Amino acid sequence: MKCLQLVTLLYIYWVVWFTYVDPDKPAAGLGERLGNGVGSKEGQSCADPRKAISYKELVRATNGFCEANLVGQGGFGYVHKGILEDGKEVAIKQLKFGSAQGEREFQAEIEIISRIHHRHLVSLVGCCITGDHRLLVYEFVPNDTLAFHLHGKGRPTMDWATRIKIAIGSAKGLAYLHEYCRPKIIHRDIKASNILLDENFDAKVSDFGLAKYSLDTDTHVSTRVVGTIGYMAPEYAASGKLTEKSDIFSFGVVLLELITGRQPVDKNHTYIDDSIVDWARPLLKKALEDGEYDAIVDPKLCKEEGHYDSHEMDRMIYCAAACVRHSARLRPPMSQIVRALEGNMSLDELSEEVATLGHSRTSRSQSSSSSGPIEATKCKSVVCCYAP
Whether 37 contacts 129, CB under 8 Å: no
Whether 92 contacts 193, CB under 8 Å: no
* Residue 29 CA to its chain's centroid (Å): 28
Q: Which residues pair with 273 in a beta bridge?
A: none
User: Could you tell me which residues come within 8 angstroms of residue 336 by beta carbon, excluding any fewer than 6 positions away?
Assistant: 345, 350, 353, 354
- CA atoms lying within 13 Å on the CB side of residue 386: 5
Catalytic-labelled residue, pool 144, 159, 189, 266:
189
Q: State how far the Cα of 24 lies from the Cα of 17, in Å rounded to an integer.
A: 12
Residue type at 161?
A: A
**Phi and psi dihedrals of 90, rounded to 5?**
-140, 160
Q: State how far the Cα of 361 lies from the Cα of 364, in Å rounded to an integer.
A: 9
Helices within the chain (DSSP H only): 2-20, 30-34, 55-61, 100-113, 146-151, 160-179, 234-239, 244-260, 276-290, 299-302, 310-323, 334-342, 347-353
Q: State how far the Cα of 193 lies from the Cα of 226, in Å rounded to an integer.
A: 16
The DSSP element (H or E) to which 127 belongs, if any, is strand 124-130
189: annotated active-site residue = yes
Is residue 93 a known part of a binding site?
yes
| Helix 244-260 / helix 276-290 crossing angle, nearest 10 deg | 70
Catalytic center residues: 189
Extract the annotated binding site for ATP: 93
